[in-house]
Structures are given as structure tokens and as C-alpha cells.
Amino acid sequence: MNSPSEDIKDLLVTEEIGVFAATTGWGIYTVVEPDKPDQTITLTDSTGGNREQTHHDYLTTPPVRYDPVRIKIRARTYAVAYAKAEEILEVFRVNKNITLSGTLYGTIRIVEGIVQEIKDDKGRFTCRILVEPVRQEGT
């Protein structure tokens, strides 16, 4: 089972939101955000995850995990960063019951919509999204 940020990265690449480790255009990265290009999408596994679903059928149904992923979007202007964040949100709105790297994701919940962050040290605008992939263990 991959980390959720790796699987979400693969989904965003498949949906043509960006290119993994691109040096120009929209680059998608996990864990470490590079200094270049200016337009980046960086995914990191967040805290508060690994909650397991508890219900009456727990013994016969594999546990469901909720593993938050923080997505940071960076661009030269806030309008460009915001527009890309909207594209990303749309991917999560339409993709349900998908298998990524052998793991079944029932949904990818949008926990926190687009939140503006401060500019970075090079004056680039950033915003973030927090999502909670809901995945079936043992798939």
C-alpha cells in the first residue's frame, strides 16, 4: 500500500493536472517542494489520519482508513494558483470508487477548500487544500 500522497499524485498526473517532477509548466511533487518551477503542486501526508471505521460489520469488512493529504499550490499570481486549485478540486468531485496502485479509494473527501497562504520568499503566491482519501485496507 502506497502513501496516500503518492496515489493522489498519480491521480493528478493521470488527469493531466500537471507532470510529475516537471522542470517547466505545472510540476507535481510529493514531500519536498523544489525551488523551480514557479508553478508547483506539492502533496504531503498529513497528521490525524489512520482512523479506522467502526461499524457492526467490522469483523467481516476490512477497515476503512482516512489518511489526510495536504496539497500546496504555488504560482506567480494568486489567480493562477486559485484556478489550478479549482481544477484539482474538480478531480476529487468526479472520481469515486477508483483503484490507485492496487488500493480502492471510495472517495476523496474535501476537508478544507482553497485557503490562501502567505507569499513565499520569492514572492510567489500559494494556497492549500486538505483532502481525506478514504481507502479500503487490504485491497
Is the pLDDT score of 138 beyond 90?
Answer: no
Report angle CA 46, 132, 58 to the nearest 5 degrees: 110
Q: Give me the torsion for CA of 120, 15, 10, 115, rounded to 10°.
A: 30
Domain assignment of residue 101, given as a range: 4-136
Q: What is the pTM of this model?
A: 0.89
* Strands 40-45 and 51-52, sheet pairing: unpaired
Which CATH number do you get for residue 110? Answer: 3.30.2000.30
Minimum mean pLDDT range among 33-42, 75-84, 90-99: 90-99
Measured from the Cβ of residue 53, the count of other Cβ atoms closer than 10 Å reads 15
* pLDDT, mean over the chain: 89
Is the pLDDT score of 134 beyond 70?
Answer: yes
Which residue did the predictor score with more confidence, 19 or 118?
19
